[in-house]
Amino acid sequence: MNKEQENNGIQIELTEETGQGIYSNLAVIAHSSSEFVVDFVRMMPGLPKAKVQSRIILTPEHAKRLMLALIDNVKKFESQLGEIKLQGQGFTPPIMGPVGEA
């Protein structure tokens, strides 16, 4: 079963399978001069390996648009539901090894 949404005059199709979503509790981001690569990872307690659940490749312009959209949505969320607390003394992105050209 397909669900279609209107978004700025563009029909967007969302299949039932995709609509279920994929849980991720870590995102690893790399970039080259022409693209950003975002790997969504699911880490499980006690397991030494984490599996990439999905990889999204974006142009630099779309990466910036995504960042701005996330900032806007987090602000709206916090104005309605309160501040999102980050664990620890501030945010430090995880270091996952050398970042190569995508």
For the stretch 4-23, pLDDT in tens is 555 668 899 999 999 999 99
* Contact indicator for 48, 78 with CB cutoff of 8 Å: no
CA torsion sign for 53, 21, 76, 78 is: negative
Half-sphere exposure of 90 (CA within 13 A, CB side): 1
* Res 9: pLDDT: 80
Residue 36 domain-assigned?
Answer: yes
Residue 77 domain-assigned?
Answer: yes
Across the chain, mean pLDDT equals: 86
Residue 35 domain-assigned?
Answer: yes
Does residue 35 have a pLDDT over 70? yes
* Res 94: pLDDT: 58
Residue 100 domain-assigned?
Answer: no
* Res 6: pLDDT: 56
Residue 34 domain-assigned?
Answer: yes
Split into its structural domains, the chain has a count of 1
For 102, residues 6+ apart whose C-beta sits below 8 A from its C-beta are: 30, 31, 32, 34, 35, 36, 37, 57
Tell me what percent of the chain is helix, strand and coil, each rounded to the nearest 5: 25, 30, 40
Residue 69 domain-assigned?
Answer: yes
Residue 11 domain-assigned?
Answer: no
Does residue 96 have a pLDDT over 80? no
Residue 17 domain-assigned?
Answer: no
* Res 1: pLDDT: 47
Higher per-residue confidence, 25 vs 6: 25
Structural domain of residue 39, as residue ranges? 22-81
